[in-house]
A and B are shown apart, each in its own frame.
Chain A
Amino acid sequence: MTDIKELFADEVVTKAITRDVELPYGAGTMALITLDNGLDHTKPSTFGPGGLTSLGEALDAISARGDVVAVGVIGKPFIFAVGADLNGAALVSERDQALRIGKLGHDVFRRLGELDVPSFAFVNGAAMGGGLEVALHCTYRTISSGVPAVATPECFLGLVPGWGGTQLLPRLIGPAAAIKLIIENPLSQNRMIKGRDAFASGIADAMFEPADFLEESLRWAARVLRGDVSVSRTDHTADDWSKTVADARFLLDMKLHGASPAPYRALDLIELARTASRDEGFDAEDQALADLLMGDELRAGLYSFDLVQRRAKKPAGAPEAALARKVTKVGVVGAGLMASQMALLFARRLEVPVVLTDLDQARLDKGVGYVHAEIAKLLGKGRVSADQANRLKALVTGSLTKDAFADADFVIEAVFEDLAVKRRVFAEVEEVVSAECVLATNTSSLSLTEMASGLRHPERVVGFHFFNPVAVMPLLEIIRGAETDDATLATAFSVGRSLKKSSVLVKDAPAFVVNRLLTRFMGEVIGAVDEGTPLEVADHALDGLGLPMTPFTLLQLVGPAVALHVAETMHEAFPSRYSVSENLAKLVAAGKPGVYAPDFSLDAEAVALFSGGTSPSTAEEVRLRALRALAEEIRLMLDEGVVAAAQDIDLCMVLGAGWPFHLGGITPYLDRTGISDPRFLAPGVASLPA
């Protein structure tokens, strides 16, 4: 049995520093605790065993005194505290260690609510997870209207706010609001709320502006202590907890089908909070934390978090950033929807002139018109000011000829997905632009190397593959062709960063990463249906993974025609593994948007197109088939060197396909279910340590 402090050997200890302050209005002396890890606001304060012990010792010292009328807690500038030290949590390998982490947190935090004098949390900055729980344990809370983030993000990673959060929050703000904060927000791209929202929801008793937040908080605390201000709280025990919890469980099942245990445990704990004593509730939290810390879903969650936080910021294989050339003007060939979306993104993020070209004035007007209309929408929503809107509109123009590209540094094409057309476009652009202007293509499946061949400067061609909708999806696949040089590639990564996208370097291979895997995956499911598996059985065979949508829903989103086109391209490249469904072709021919009607019921006519197979599979067989196909394809991609490592595959699936953290993208899930053999990742990387 190791001491948990050994696991947290690298802990940046958040110290609890106590100083006496004389409260205004003669209210007496408050012992004010500052939580500070000694670093600036870019390294927020967290709690490991060292930090918890420091806070415990501070409370010991205060409890031993008889001369303070209250205890206050505040964070360092801009940060209150942001929760548990995750680096140490990832090293926990025994359930007993996990249990002790939970208990230590409770033992320290709960004292804030069990002192002889009232305690006040002054939430001056970001408060997340365990940080918010510190505040919740206090008798009273004030919050700064400038706080940018209040959240319990634990379920996002695969944990529960188990240092009191699930027990205190529902009683304070009611079960419905607590479920939103503890479960719904973390599962909605880890949404966070601001200080004002936290105050409105009842998390804080008073709100003050950031300019003199502590001073006014202390005045308020003095008034509370003197009885000049009374704090009213709503009694939520009369709320309809069972219905609220049942509704939440129904929505959770729709979304996850039980795939990730954490939100379910959180829901159970919230339900328990209505009747449980503090001891019972906190004990149940300890057990839940220990179970989850010993589960692979959390490990996959921590792994995914690290991918999007760290690996996405330092793309594997990207050349030195210093090689990047400056981009002061962008050209977009084509004025269709995708091109217009790109133009808007370039204008907003790079703030340089963007010229769209098309051969047809009407299409051009439509494209530029789309961008201007979107800018007007941003203005209407208050996302940009009137001046910014004017600036952005002036940046995006249209031209019937490519002469307008003459002084561009980056030209991207978004024309019809046809190699000959794209080659001709690049040849025309090359006539106008400088020798160093980057030529980028948004192709989703064509060979970059072939597209570049025949150009005078093939080394400046690079793949720049966005996902739809361009403004929303965070992934950018950057493709290096056979002749692409480092300066071009560095420029592409630099532009990607400016666009606030996460870029992954991909070799010039058919359909790159996300589309190659999704097409293979969907192909297997559609194949099972072609063979006679009932559509509803096949489409729900993988529900247990908790993917964002079923394969046929994805088909509907992509559009059957596009899906068919990609399937054909992939079949050409890899005929043995990618088939073209005749039934899918029939669906396209019938002009159906998919197999589902607008009300999400199955469209009988569409389903009929898929009938006729004679060798149905069970759901379990479909599941295994699809997963084995994924494992096979990923192995081949790694062998071909499509990306640097399995981590990049997972990063692509998390950011480009929205595949969940609890799967770790996909390879951790394939590893832990024994589908992959050998494993993609060593034990402990995205699973419990061996």
Chain B
Amino acid sequence: MPSSRDVVFVDGVRTPFGKSGPKGLYAGTRADDLVVRVIRELIRRNPNLPPDRVDEVAIAATTQIGDQGLTLGRSAAILAGLPKSVPGYSIDRMCAGAMTAVTSLAGGIAFGAYDVAIAGGVEHMGRHPMGEGVDPNPRFLAEQLVDGSALVMGMTAENLHDRYPSITKDRADAFALASQEKVAKAYSDGRIQPDLVPMATRSAEGGWGLATVDEAPRPSTTLDGLGALKTPFRPHGRVTAGNASGINDGATGCIVAASEVAEELGLAPKMRLVSYAFAGVDPEVMGVGPIPSTERALRLAGLSVSDIGLFEINEAFAVQVLAFLEHFGIADDDARVNPYGGAIAFGHPLASSGVRLMTQLAREFGERPDVRYGVTTMCVGLGMGGTVIWENLSWEGKK
């Protein structure tokens, strides 16, 4: 049976992302309900896919307890009304959870174990604050396996500024401002809305409502405003709430399939998986993770960075994107990078973000038939990076 088949990204959607907290969009909404809504929307948007042809559901969450526990892939599949014959499981690679769900299922598809699968991720950081229930082994610090700052992401970002002295707070703020502006433009151009699924919300005092757009973007952001923000991780530091992603709630999901099966079913895939790679780095500078993972993925694909026409890089922190760009010799304002903006504006519900990058890249590919290859990449806590390289199935050179 072992085979090697092309794997394609058929379609991706997400809920609007909310700001975590008691006044946030999803303060009264369960994490599993966010996932259920995404799965149902994928099935609805792809009527040629018979639900019983879904062979696996892998859902990522960093904090797998409560409504993010109970083997979320399986429980969400049942709650979404998929046939009970469809299995599911949970995945955790922190920020790269959904990305890992895609690559794991893609590996299974290429091997021949699955034909079609649903991958996604969720993080309700309001219901499950970062670090909820963690119990780090004392050896980490006692044996100096990691620096004490490694578990505080903001500190790792400050550490990264130390490693790249040329990346100043001004550059980080400028990048953050650009992200906000790109998101505002993408919204006004109608690039984001088609892949959002409206989500019902409810609070006891406010009754039912409907989430239709992301809550976090701040279109009125200015450089002056950014400059005035506090640096909570270091006195006179560089990392602020303005040049980092926020604390958010949201879910994403996508359909991945064997290319031949997508064709058989009459699905309309948007991207072909070219290669993927994960890499480890020092946990205290986890933000450099995308550099080695991207180098490895490029090598596996037989491509060089100059072959890449679009980059979707997760903006956990502006400094971490800038370090990546500096390493590959790409300008801070290069039009190939996050053309619709990134997590600094949209928000970053940890384990869900990987599929947001892919969904956005897929839409950008549709707009840019001149581009053949794109990269989705992100840094991961405890010192990792993940990269997936995609080929644009709308690429005109193929026709």
A residues near B (Cβ < 8 Å) are 17-22, 24, 32-34, 36, 38, 74, 77, 209, 211-212, 214-215, 218-219
Contacts and interface: CB of A to CB of B under 8 A. Distances in A.
A34 B36 CA distance: 23
Contacts of A215: 37, 197-200, 210
Contacts of B205: 17
A242 to B, nearest CB: 44
A535 B205 CA distance: 66
Interface in B209-252: 209-210, 212-213
19 contacts: A19-B206, A19-B207, A21-B208, A21-B209, A21-B212, A24-B198, A24-B212, A32-B207, A32-B208, A38-B204, A77-B202, A211-B40, A211-B79, A212-B37, A214-B200, A214-B208, A215-B198, A215-B210, A219-B198
Contact of A33 (B37, B81, B200, B207): B207
Contact of A22 (B37, B81, B210): B210
Given A211-B36, A211-B40, A18 B207 contact: yes
Contacts of B86: none
B49 interface: no
Contacts of A74: 207-208
A77 B203 CA distance: 11
Contacts of A17: 205-207
Contacts of B207: 17-19, 32-34, 36, 74
A211 B80 contact: yes
Contact of B212 (A19, A22, A211, A214): A22
Given A32-B209, A36-B207, 6 more contacts: A19-B207, A20-B209, A211-B80, A211-B81, A215-B197, A215-B200
Nearest to B207: A34
A20 B207 CA distance: 10
A162 B43 CA distance: 43
Interface in B256-279: none
Contacts of B81: 209, 211
Contacts of B212: 21-22, 24
Contacts of B208: 19, 21, 32, 34, 74, 214
Contacts of A36: 204, 207
B169 to A, nearest CB: 37
* Residues of B in contact with A, size category: 20 to 34
Contacts of A214: 200, 208, 210
A212 B36 contact: yes
Contacts of B37: 211-212, 215
Q: Majority SS of interface residues in chain B?
A: mixed
A212 B35 CA distance: 11
Q: Which of A18, A32, A38 has the most CB of B within 10 A?
A: A32
Nearest to A124: B208
A222 to B, nearest CB: 10
Given A211-B79, A215-B200, A21 B210 contact: yes
A551 B149 CA distance: 88
Interface of B: 36-37, 40, 79-81, 197-200, 202, 204-210, 212-213
Nearest to A217: B200
A34 B198 CA distance: 18
Contacts of A212: 36-37, 40, 200
A212 B80 CA distance: 9
Contacts of A211: 36-37, 40, 79-81
Nearest to B39: A211
Nearest to A214: B200
Contacts of B40: 211-212
A390 B159 CA distance: 65
A267 B309 CA distance: 74
Nearest to A210: B81
A19 B209 contact: yes
A19 B80 CA distance: 27
Nearest to A16: B207
A214 B202 CA distance: 11
B210 A218 contact: yes
B385 to A, nearest CB: 35
A25 to B, nearest CB: 10
Nearest to B44: A216
Nearest to B79: A211
A454 B101 CA distance: 74
Nearest to A21: B210
A33 B206 CA distance: 10
B192 to A, nearest CB: 14
Nearest to B209: A19
A170 to B, nearest CB: 31
Nearest to B205: A17
A212 B36 CA distance: 8
Nearest to B80: A211
A36 B200 CA distance: 16
A24 B200 CA distance: 12
Contacts of A77: 202
Contacts of B210: 21-22, 32, 214-215, 218
B213 to A, nearest CB: 8
B216 to A, nearest CB: 17
Nearest to B208: A34
A209 B79 CA distance: 11
A582 to B, nearest CB: 67
Nearest to A74: B208
A71 B153 CA distance: 46
Contacts of B79: 211
A72 to B, nearest CB: 9
Q: Which of B36, B79, B204, B207 is the most central at the interface, judged by chain A CB atoms within 10 Å of its CB?
A: B207
Contacts of A218: 198, 210
A228 B93 CA distance: 44
Nearest to A32: B208
Contacts of B80: 211
A167 B60 CA distance: 53
B28 to A, nearest CB: 10
Nearest to A38: B204
A445 to B, nearest CB: 52
A33 B204 CA distance: 13
B57 to A, nearest CB: 15
The 8 A-B pairs at the shortest CB distance, nearest first, are namely A34-B207, A17-B207, A21-B210, A214-B200, A19-B209, A34-B208, A22-B212, A215-B200
Contacts of B204: 36, 38
B70 to A, nearest CB: 17
Contacts of B36: 211-212
A519 B213 CA distance: 72
Nearest to B36: A211
Contacts of A33: 207
B327 to A, nearest CB: 42
Contacts of A34: 202, 207-208
Nearest to B210: A21
A21 B204 CA distance: 16
Contacts of A32: 207-210
Nearest to A122: B208
A57 to B, nearest CB: 14
Q: Which of A34, A212, A218 has the most CB of B within 10 A?
A: A212
A59 to B, nearest CB: 15
Contacts of A21: 208-210, 212
A564 B263 CA distance: 80
B193 to A, nearest CB: 9
Nearest to B199: A215
Most chain-A Cβ atoms within 10 A of its Cβ — which of B79, B205, B210? B210
A36 B207 CA distance: 8
Contacts of B202: 34, 77
A387 to B, nearest CB: 15
